[in-house]
Amino acid sequence: MSETPVFRFRGAIVFSALLGAAALPTPAWSQGVDQLRRRIALLEGAHREALVAAVHSESLRAETHDTIRAGALTVFARSADGAVRQAAIAAWPTLDSTYGDAASILAAFPLVFHRRRHSEEAGIILPQQERLQRILVDSTAGVRDITWQLVSAGANTIQGKADSALRQWLGGSTVAAQTGALSHWTRAYEELVLAPWRSVRFCYLGDLAWCRVALGLAEDSNRVTNWYDAAERRAIVSELPLDALRVQRLAVDRCLTMRSDEACVAVLRSLPPEIPLPQPLPTATRMTLLRHVIDLGGRAAYPRLAHSEEAVLEARLAAAAGVSADSLLAGWRRKILAAPPKSVTFTMAAAWSTVAWVALLALVGLRSTRWR
């Protein structure tokens, strides 16, 4: 290697700065739209190259790194860490089967992997770079943990490119991190039975129109009245932090003491953005619907969903799954009801193994050497 990593890092920054400076002198109003687009594309390309060079040089400065590729998934990790290679190989099929062709975007968004050592207990501050996701794991993390981290990071990147309506509905959860394991459906079952909202209760009882409301798929403009009934609205207001309601004191009093539903609606409609309304079903349960869509629609489901021209989310999900909206929701509900959690019920295998343990321990007691 003829130049130091630090020099290359600085060189890349200087290169991109010069390129940017070269693009600026021409007044923007004197250029055509096409010409501007070309310049933007050129600058973006240069920025991408500079970024890759910066990452590479920075990682070289710290320690020797390898570039691990599995499909479109690209990970920079320490050369000695074989677990990351195994994890990347395990993570890619999950991402590919979940997101299909949409997962190819990961080629442009490398992940930088770092393993925390015991000597770094105080914490590591990793420099932030746009287009670059950092993964920091504990020193003891095994292949399974790392695989989950890579899947989560990759899924975040892919879902982050979706349109705002879909992103908002997904609420930051990632469907790929839900591997379709039974526990997610079981948790959804618990939500369906235990959530304190009317919409969820009726969804559990089989009314698909209420399932739409509970999942946030129905008309979104009037959540306060669509999502909750009067008693639920009053309960929500009573749980709100008092500081946030100082301005609304009169309305809150009317809502809680005089039981005025109009006042409750007014309070809930005027909530600041930092206090969101509670969703009838959490985003984790919404993810089970998306998982169901992907199970039905296969590899092409997510790209269809992400690039759909439909305005209504429910129609987009149904189109991605390749079935009607009613059939989609009915299938989703059926799948949840088929996965009730195990509570006090004991499996026969567990009961027999316990009986075997009792017999074994009793034998140990009989064979004691106390008298010898």
Single residue of 38, 48, 61, 117 touching other proteins by CB under 8 A = 117
Residues 344 to 363: which contact other proteins by CB under 8 A?
344-346, 349-351, 353-355, 357-358, 360-362
Cβ within 8 Å of residue 370, ≥6 positions away: none
Three-state DSSP at 19 gives helix
Cβ within 8 Å of residue 328, ≥6 positions away: 289, 292, 293, 296, 317, 318, 321
Radius of gyration of the chain (CA): 27
Number of CB atoms found within 10 A of residue 44's CB: 10
| Contact call for residue 365 and other proteins (CB under 8 A) | yes
CB of 148 to other proteins, least distance (A): 17
Q: Give whichever of 48 and 117 is closer to other proteins, judged by the CB atom.
A: 117
Q: Give whichever of 246 and 370 is closer to other proteins, judged by the CB atom.
A: 370
| Contact call for residue 369 and other proteins (CB under 8 A) | yes
| Contact call for residue 45 and other proteins (CB under 8 A) | no
CB 198 within 8 A of CB 176: no
| Contact call for residue 227 and other proteins (CB under 8 A) | no
Interface pattern 179-218 for other proteins (x via CB under 8 A): ----------xx-xxxxxxx--x--xx-------------
Single residue of 140, 164, 221, 257 touching other proteins by CB under 8 A = 140
CB 188 within 8 A of CB 286: no
102 token code pair: 């949409």
Residues 316 to 345: which contact other proteins by CB under 8 A?
340-345
CB 293 within 8 A of CB 320: yes
How far from the centroid of its chain's Cα atoms is residue 25's Cα? 42
CB 198 within 8 A of CB 231: no
| Contact call for residue 127 and other proteins (CB under 8 A) | no
Single residue of 2, 30, 119, 221 touching other proteins by CB under 8 A = 119
Q: Give whichever of 7 and 357 is closer to other proteins, judged by the CB atom.
A: 357
Size of the site for other proteins (CB under 8 A): 44
CB of 170 to other proteins, least distance (A): 25
Question: Which has the closest alpha carbon to 250: 270, 232, 280?
Answer: 270
Single residue of 118, 123, 164, 273 touching other proteins by CB under 8 A = 118
Question: Which has the closest alpha carbon to 76: 150, 130, 23?
Answer: 150
Residue 236 CA to residue 269 CA, distance in Å, equals 12
Q: Give whichever of 35 and 354 is closer to other proteins, judged by the CB atom.
A: 354
CB 150 within 8 A of CB 87: yes
Q: Give whichever of 221 and 368 is closer to other proteins, judged by the CB atom.
A: 368
Binding region for other proteins (CB under 8 A): 117-119, 139-140, 142, 189-190, 192-198, 201, 204-205, 340-346, 349-351, 353-355, 357-358, 360-362, 364-371
